[in-house]
Amino acid sequence: MAEGMSEPFYITTAISYPNGRPHIGHAYEAIAADAIARFQRSMGRNVRFQTGTDEHGLKMAQAARARDITPRALADEMSALFKQMCDALNVSYDRFIRTSDADHYAASQAIWQAMEANDDLYLDRYEGWYSVRDEAFYDEKELIEGEGGEKLSPQGTPVEWTKEESWFFRLSKYQEPLLALYRDQPDFIRPETRKNEIVSFVSGGLSDLSVSRTSFDWGVPVPGSPGHVMYVWVDALTNYLTGIGYPDKDAALGQYWPANLHLIGKDIVRFHTVYWPAFLMSARIPLPKQVFGHGFLLNRGEKMSKSVGNVVDPLVMAERYGVDQLRYFLLREVSFGQDGSYGHEAIVNRANAELANSFGNLAQRTLSMIFKNLDGELPALDRNEDDAALIRAVAAACLDETPRAFEQLAFSIGIEAWMKAVFACNQYVDAQAPWALRKSDPERMKTVLGTLFMVIRDLAIAILPIIPESAGKLLGQMGISADERNFAAIEDQSWYDALRSSGYKVGQPVPLFPRLELEIAED
């Protein structure tokens, strides 16, 4: 196990804006963050994992008004759907935070007062372009022209000219400290393409940021300034501190901050790598260690959007394909950090070929043969070089290649290394032909099946962060206790003899991955 793995590890997703139902893009980020959290736990780290919903702002107020309900009622309804999505997808969060929570109001007001104490807030009038959809202010130079000649944000969303009294944050003061941050901590922003974009943006000069609104009241009140609510991104970003007890330094804050990783979509990198570190510098709070801006998940090449109407319900997909099959596909298919597409045929083919046919069938055949031919008993092993070579190949994948890739968030590369080890096991099965050995050399058959039992256990532990339910069921069928399902356990070669000596017997195995069918038409 790598040095330092016992240290705490704090990971957060971006909190989702619940002005509509969750779509598969929200699920993608939650699944990826969950895989990271599970992997770090499996490496022995004390993990804190937070997700949730970002419930304030003008968009929420407008969406509630359109339905003739209060913003709080809309937030309650929609936040519940996002939590339901996380639970259905087996997302192992420690806290599902809501920015309407009472402790979040207190934390947001505390960081505001800390910035105010540093003389970084002042009252003035704001006149400028604002995108309601992005909840973002834009300089004139950033705007683009729409097809009809109208002004649009860099994201292509409508903007409107806004005039109102506002508190401002002295963002311009932090231009050089931010550039120094990017220079001195080159991994603060990943991947590299996102970092280059932000460095270019900040190098072009920063204007002070309007950080309060008076045109609506659905937000965190600005302390000591009646009629003002905080700009939604001030309170939204503060959620990462709220969830670990800020401003109480005796709470989990002292244990888990600074965060190891903010996992976010590439469209909100600016807020997390310009505004957020500037707010923290102002408030004299240490900065997170890394912000990773992943790509978009595309529906047949198009970005999913509630306004476009191509949103896919992740619960429907999980019901259709299976939770683990969906998780596996998304992390296997897409190079993390880049955009990626999905479709029905791609999911079915990947799940059937790799999970059902390769790994699932390997486990099913091996456990069935032990159950039928050895009365479920684990045999003593008399290994030869073929057996030792397989064990070495699987160990290289499970202890080196796969965890090294997962540590770098390169899920597809890690799963590819794992899959090669699965293929090696199947090649070993074909070469050894234990069904033939049952008659020609039953003692050799025992060693082959015992060797396969050993490597299947290692493969299941290594892929557990990606397909936790299925791999967990397999390990349960194999008699592997919950506290032995981690990377340290893979290093322990004495487990097999200990399990064998305990009198454990393999029962009739249950198939893990039912084959998916292709006849369902694309939506």
Report the pLDDT averaged over residues 296-316. Answer: 73
Place 28 in a pLDDT band, splitting at 50, 70 and 90.
very high
pLDDT tens readout for residues 195-235: 999 999 999 999 999 999 998 899 999 999 999 999 999 99
Give the architecture-level CATH label for domain 8-321: 3-Layer(aba) Sandwich (3.40)
Q: What is the largest CA-CA distance in the chain?
A: 89
- The answer to whether 8-321 and 344-501 have equal CATH topology is no
Measured torsion, CA atoms of residues 23, 36, 457, 85, in degrees rounded to the nearest 10: -20
Bridge-based pairing of strands 8-13 and 261-265 is parallel
| Structural tokens at position 452 | 């396969």
pLDDT tens readout for residues 343-377: 889 999 999 999 999 999 999 999 999 999 999 99
Confidence check: pLDDT of 444 > 70: yes
Confidence check: pLDDT of 523 > 70: no
- Please list, in sequence order, all residues whose beta carbon lies within 8 angstroms of the beta carbon of residue 10, skipping any fewer than 6 positions away: 47, 48, 49, 50, 244, 256, 257, 258, 259, 260, 261
Report the pLDDT averaged over residues 293-322. Answer: 80
Bridge-based pairing of strands 302-303 and 297-299 is antiparallel
For Cα atoms 249, 254, 257, give the angle at the middle one, nearest 5 degrees.
115
pLDDT tens readout for residues 154-181: 888 999 998 889 999 999 999 999 999 9
Residue 5 confidence (pLDDT): 55
Residue 6 confidence (pLDDT): 74
d(CA 377, CA 374): 6
Residue 130: strand, helix, or coil:
strand
Report the pLDDT averaged over residues 53-81. Answer: 94
Mean pLDDT of all residues in the chain? 93
Residue 516 confidence (pLDDT): 94
pLDDT tens readout for residues 467-515: 999 999 999 999 999 999 999 999 988 999 999 999 999 999 999 999 9
Query: Which percentage of the chain shows pLDDT scores above 90?
Result: 83
pLDDT tens readout for residues 261-280: 999 999 999 999 999 999 99
Place 521 in a pLDDT band, splitting at 50, 70 and 90.
very low
Residue 137 confidence (pLDDT): 80
Residue 164 confidence (pLDDT): 84
- How crowded is residue 83: how many other Cβ atoms within 10 Å of its Cβ? 19
* Cis-peptide into 258, omega within 30 deg: yes
d(CA 123, CA 165): 7
Place 421 in a pLDDT band, splitting at 50, 70 and 90.
very high
Report the pLDDT averaged over residues 78-105. Answer: 97
Residue 309 confidence (pLDDT): 63
Q: Domain 344-501: give its CATH superfamily.
A: Isoleucyl-tRNA Synthetase; Domain 1 (1.10.730.10)
Ordered by start, the domain boundaries in the chain are 8-321, 344-501
Residue 302 confidence (pLDDT): 65
- Of 29, 456, 465, 31, the C-alpha closest to 265 is 29
Rg of the chain (C-alpha set): 26
